[in-house]
């Protein structure tokens, strides 16, 4: 289960949100996670809520206006109800300095209290996107992950079949490397898988006979990408002459591979002498884009043939 400490959340978003840590510094070790088995009614980020409490509670002008309608003693008692063990932090958004009792209570309860000058809806959007990436379900895949024609393409296949050589050819044709050998994939939304590279392998590609290449140094900044949404899997298969002859040349039904519960389109390309795999991968991506637009060349050809036979 992935977790994020409040101190990490503060450091990663301090510059973007102009955050100031006001109180509860010793609560920086509190963690946020997507473990909903024990706390099914606890969300991650939202405005002050006592019915469906959030792990990060935001207080903006509307919440301060509500608290201002209460007597001073009741204001403090109401705010104290927020400071439960499950709470991660309190963000004060767009209202300037908070009342002194909030600072005192957060220090006493060891709950981080952070101040932000931006409107609370903007802070909610930023933190939800950040946490969706940091806490996403993840897995590790073997292959080479590339940006081909603005599409995230994972090239898979048996060891020594030529994945890295194919990747090098595609990079030399202007496409971008994301990860070689080990690809970390994250489910950042119900229908979206994002691929990234482990820090230790960033920018590197291993090619048999040459060694390990630093793609950023060799081909320039535009030859690498930090991350990309996985849209297509290209699987390389080694075929004998007989197997190659028996391939279905009019395959109509699309194949898919399920990753973290999301179905990803899969294309199998036979590897044989004389085949330009880089051109085939580019064409597979272009064909996939056309399929997304509702254009299927194979079905179009079959329908044209059927129409001609009917007319004949």
Residue 208 lies in a domain: yes
Residue 311 lies in a domain: no
Q: Give the pLDDT band (50/70/90) at residue 69.
A: very high
Among 115, 134, 153, residue at a domain's last position: 134
Residues 161 and 50 grouped into a single domain = no
Report the Cα 135 to chain-centroid distance in Å: 10
Residues 84 and 175 grouped into a single domain = no
Residues 76 and 153 grouped into a single domain = no
Residues 214 and 262 grouped into a single domain = yes
Residues 188 and 52 grouped into a single domain = no
What are the pLDDT digits (tens) for 28-58?
999 988 764 344 445 788 888 888 888 999 9
Residue 310 lies in a domain: no
Residues 153 and 106 grouped into a single domain = no
Among 119, 134, 149, residue at a domain's last position: 134
Residue 247 has pLDDT above 70, yes or no: no
Residue 224 lies in a domain: yes
Residues 163 and 117 grouped into a single domain = no
Residues 177 and 285 grouped into a single domain = yes
| Structure token pair of residue 215 | 């793609």
Residues 32 and 108 grouped into a single domain = yes
pLDDT at site 40: 43
Annotated active-site residue 181? The verdict is: yes
Among 87, 107, 134, residue at a domain's last position: 134
Residues 279 and 228 grouped into a single domain = yes
Residue 58 lies in a domain: yes
Annotated active-site residue 55? The verdict is: no
The per-residue pLDDT of the chain, averaged, comes to 88
Which range has the worst mean pLDDT, 30-44, 112-126, 166-180, 286-300? 30-44
Annotated active-site residue 34? The verdict is: no
Buried b (16+ CB within 10 A) or exposed e, 9-34: bbeebeeebebebbbbeebbebbbbe
Catalytic residue among 30, 55, 163, 175: 163
- CATH code of 37's domain: 3.40.1390.20
pLDDT at site 242: 55
Residues 141 and 121 grouped into a single domain = no
Question: Helices (DSSP H) in the chain: which residue ranges?
Answer: 6-17, 61-68, 72-80, 100-109, 120-134, 163-172, 215-219, 241-245, 277-292, 297-311
Residue 96 has pLDDT above 70, yes or no: yes
| Structure token pair of residue 63 | 């919440």
How many distinct structural domains can be found in the chain? 2
Residues 85 and 162 grouped into a single domain = no
List residues bridging with 108 in a β-sheet. Answer: none
Summarize the confidence of residues 169-190 as an average pLDDT: 93
Catalytic residue among 35, 181, 203, 296: 181
pLDDT at site 151: 94
Are 44 and 31 in contact by the 8 Å Cβ rule? The answer is no
Which range has the worst mean pLDDT, 58-72, 128-142, 204-218, 295-309? 295-309
What are the pLDDT digits (tens) for 230-244?
999 999 988 655 555
| Structure token pair of residue 161 | 């079949």
Query: Percentage of the chain with pLDDT > 70?
Result: 92
Which range has the worst mean pLDDT, 68-77, 172-181, 269-278? 269-278
Summarize the confidence of residues 161-185 as an average pLDDT: 94
- CATH code of 257's domain: 3.40.50.300
Q: Distance between CA 196 and CA 123 in Å, rounded?
A: 25
Residue 255 lies in a domain: yes
pLDDT at site 39: 46
Summarize the confidence of residues 203-209 as an average pLDDT: 91
What are the pLDDT digits (tens) for 299-311?
888 888 888 888 7
Catalytic residue among 25, 142, 173, 246: 142
Annotated active-site residue 249? The verdict is: yes
Residue 196 lies in a domain: yes
pLDDT at site 41: 46
Which structural domain range is residue 225 located in? 137-302
Residue 309 lies in a domain: no
């Amino acid at each position: 289960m992935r977790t994020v400490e409040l101190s990490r959340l503060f450091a990663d978003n301090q510059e973007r949100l102009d955050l100031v840590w006001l109180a509860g510094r010793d609560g920086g070790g509190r963690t946020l996670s997507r473990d909903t088995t024990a706390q099914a009614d606890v969300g991650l980020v939202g405005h002050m809520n006592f019915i469906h409490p959030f792990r990060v509670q935001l207080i903006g002008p509307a919440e301060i206006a509500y608290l201002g309608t209460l007597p001073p003693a009741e204001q403090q008692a109401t705010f104290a109800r927020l400071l439960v063990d499950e709470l991660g932090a309190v963000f004060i958004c767009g209202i300037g300095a908070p009342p002194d009792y909030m600072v005192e209570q957060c220090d006493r309860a060891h709950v981080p209290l952070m101040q932000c000058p931006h409107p609370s809806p903007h802070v909610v959007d930023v933190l939800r996107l950040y946490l969706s990436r940091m806490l996403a379900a993840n897995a590790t895949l073997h292959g080479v992950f590339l940006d081909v024609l603005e599409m995230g393409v994972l090239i898979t296949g048996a060891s020594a079949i030529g994945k890295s050589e194919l990747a090098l050819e595609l990079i030399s044709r202007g496409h971008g490397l994301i990860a070689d050998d080990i690809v970390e994939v994250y489910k950042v939304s119900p229908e979206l898988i994002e691929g990234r590279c482990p820090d230790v392998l960033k920018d590197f590609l291993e090619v048999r006979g040459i060694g390990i290449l630093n793609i950023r140094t060799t081909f320039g900044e535009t030859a690498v990408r930090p991350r990309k949404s996985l849209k297509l899997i290209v699987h390389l298969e080694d075929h004998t002459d007989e197997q190659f002859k028996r391939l279905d040349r009019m395959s109509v039904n699309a194949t898919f591979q399920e990753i973290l519960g999301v179905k990803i389109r899969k294309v199998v390309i036979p590897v044989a002498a004389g085949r330009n795999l880089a051109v085939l991968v580019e064409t597979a991506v272009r064909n996939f884009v056309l399929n997304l637009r509702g254009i299927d060349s194979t079905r179009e050809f079959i329908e044209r043939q059927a129409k001609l036979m009917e007319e004949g």
